[in-house]
Amino acid sequence: MNNIKYLYLAYKNLSFKDFTKHIYNSLRARYLVYFRPKYTINQLSNRKGQCTLNGCCCKSTTWFCEHFKNDKCSIYKNQPFFCRIFPIDEKSIKLSNVKNNCGYYWKK
């Protein structure tokens, strides 16, 4: 029941466009992990850089996370799987609008 409260509070102020973008990005990540594992592994192994720990991904992708407090992840060292692998690829960054804040990148 707690998660429903967080979802409601998080999404009630979003535009329909932002809401659908968030849902699409979330579903896309799960699709890639479960149905395109080779692509996912390849993208993650080619990912360069590191997390900037500035919370930009959490702010842009998981507005409803109960562990995101005071602009920080309160469980960073024990993050859930999909948090740890974000961003999977450049499209993940583009969809979540964190391009200039995320420390990860891919060489072309």
Q: What is the pLDDT of residue 28?
A: 93
pTM of the full predicted structure? 0.79
Q: What is the pLDDT of residue 23?
A: 82
Q: What is the pLDDT of residue 1?
A: 47
Calculate the alpha carbon distances from 24 to 2, 50, 91, 104 in Å.
23, 24, 11, 21
Residue, of 101 and 66, whose pLDDT is higher: 101
Per-residue pLDDT tens for 36-80? 999 999 999 999 999 888 877 777 666 667 787 787 788 888 888
pLDDT exceeds cutoff 70 at 3: no
Determine whether 19 is exposed, middle or buried from the number of CB atoms within 10 Å of its CB (0-12, 13-18, 19+).
middle
